[in-house]
Structure 1
Amino acid sequence: ADREGRPRHGRSLGTNTVRLVQAASHEGQPWAGRWYVQPLTYHLEGQPEAEHLLRATVVYLPSLPLAHGRLLCALELAATSEAPGMLLGPAAHPRHGWAEADVTPYLVLGNVSVGSLALRHVCVRAGRVRGHDAPVAPSHPFLLLYLNDTQAGLTPPAAEPRRHRRDTRMLAHDLPGYLREQGGEKSDCSLRPFPVSFAQLGWDHWIIAPHRYNPRYCKGTCPRLLRYDYHAPNHAVVQSFVHQLVDANVPRPSCVPYRYSPISVLMIERDGGILYKEYENMIAESCTCR
C-alpha cells in the first residue's frame, strides 16, 4: 500500500484480512550442543465467526549468519497421539531471507478449524564451533492467517491497548474552516480532496498505518443537462427535467460519490496482536448525480 493506504495495483493478496499470530512462550533451555529445538504453540481460539480461513503459512528464517559458520533452521509438525511428526518444507523460494511453510491442511480438518497448531523450530550450527561462542537464539517463526472477513465496516476495537491519546475534537473544530477554504462558490458536481489524519479522528491508538487518509468527497451543483460522464441513472435525468420544466419544488439531483476504492490498514487488536485489513469503499474516486 502507499502512504495513504491505497493498495498497489497488481499486488493483491487475494484476501481482505491477514492476522499475525505469535507463538506462545515455552520454558526450558532450547540449546543442546550444536542443536536448537524450540516447541512452538499457536493458539487460534476465539477467532471471529465472520472470518473464514483461506490460507495459513508459518514464516521463518531458514539460515542465519553467525560469527563462525551459519545457523540452519527448519520447521517440524509436532508429533501427536494421532499422527507422527513431519518436516515442513518451504512453500516457495525464500524472499528477503524469509521462507514460508504452508500449514493450511493442518488448521482445517474436514471443514472444521482446529484450536491450536503445535510445531518444533529445529536449528543446527553449521561450521566450526568454538567454546567461547555464545549461542544465538533465532527469531521465533510467526503464523500468518489469510482470511476473508465477511463483516463489512471499519470498527475500532472495543478496548485497549491504547498507544497514546489524541484530542478527538480537532477534526470537528477544523472542518468548517477547511470547507470554507475549499470555496463556497457553486460549481458543477466534482470530486474534492479532504486529507485527514487518523489522529484527528481519535483512531491512532489502534491504527498503526497509514497515518493519513484522503477519503475525498463530492460537492457542487448537478448541471441541468447531465453529461454521459456523470453516469447518472435515468431517474436523475427525469428528475432534472421535472425540476426545470414542471415543478421547481422537486429538488435537483444530488452530487454524490459514484465509484470507490479500498484502503489497507495495519492495526493493533485488543489482545495486542497485529492485523492487516483491506476495507472496501473507503476512498471516493468519482462523482455522479442522483
Structure 2
Amino acid sequence: MQVIGSRVNQNRLLEFRVSPESGQAGQEFRVRTATLWLKADIRHRRPSQCRSTEIYVFKIISRLPDTVTISSQDFDRLASDPISLTLRESQSGWQKLDLTATVQQWLSDSPKEKLQLLVDCSCCSNWRIHLFNGEPSHRSNPNRPFLVVHTDPTTAKRVRRRALDCSEDSGNQCCKQRFYVSFKQLGWDDWVIAPQGYHANYCRGDCGLHRTPDTYVTYHTHVIEEVRKTHHLSGMQPCCAPLKFSSMSLIYYGPDMTIIKRDLPKMVVDECGCP
C-alpha cells in the first residue's frame, strides 16, 4: 500500500508498507520485479539550457522527522544511490523505474518498516511531476504514484481443514484445484497493468456418501441429506463447491489512459467443501 509521507527539502516522500492482504502472516516472498510508476507531463516545450531531464529516486535509509531540510553532506549519509530515468518529450505521461533491487533489499532487511522514497528531478522546469508536493493527497487521484511488485511465494499457506488442496493422493475427494489464469492468454495484457495473472482456482471431486454431522455447514444441509438418503433421491447429491472466496487487486488503464486500482471481490477460491 502506498501513502504520501513526510517532506524532505520540500519534497514529499513516497512511503510504502506491506499490507495484510499481500500474504498470510509468516509467508515470505521472493521479488521477481518491482516497478515504480510516476506521472510526468510535459508543460512547456520551450528551449532549455539542460542537455537532459532526469528523474532520480533515492531510498531513505534513516528515520527522519515529518519535515526536515538536510544538507548535501548529510543527504549522502541518509539516502542510498539513486535510480535514474531520462524524461523525453515524446514519452510524456506515465514513467516506469525499475526498483527491483531496492524492493528486494527492503523486504529482506526490514519488511515491517516503511519503504521511503525521495523523488527528485533535475532540470524539470518544463515538466510537471505528480508528487502531491503542493496539494493534499487523495487515494482516488488517478495520477498518484504507485509501486507494482511481482513476487513468487516461497512458503506455502497454512491449510485449514476445509481448504483441502487437490493432489495425487486426494483421489476423487472434494478439494481445491489450483488454477492460474493468464491475462495475456485472455488478450487482456493491453489494458491490465498488474498483475500479469492470478490463481483463480476451482473446486472438483465428489462429496462422500458417509458424512458425520460436524461436516455440514448448515442444519438445512444436514436435513436435506437425511431426506435424500431416506428416500433414495440420487438427484439431490451434494456438489463440491466453493465455501470461501477472497478478493484481488487489479491495476488497469481506464478512460483517457487514466490508471485505476480496484479491489475485486470473490475473485479467488480459497476453500472448497460439501455445503
TM-score scaled by length of structure 2? 0.44
Q: Which has the higher contact order (CA 8 A, sep 6+)?
A: 1
Instruction: Return the structure number with greater helix share.
Output: 2
TM-score scaled by length of structure 1? 0.42
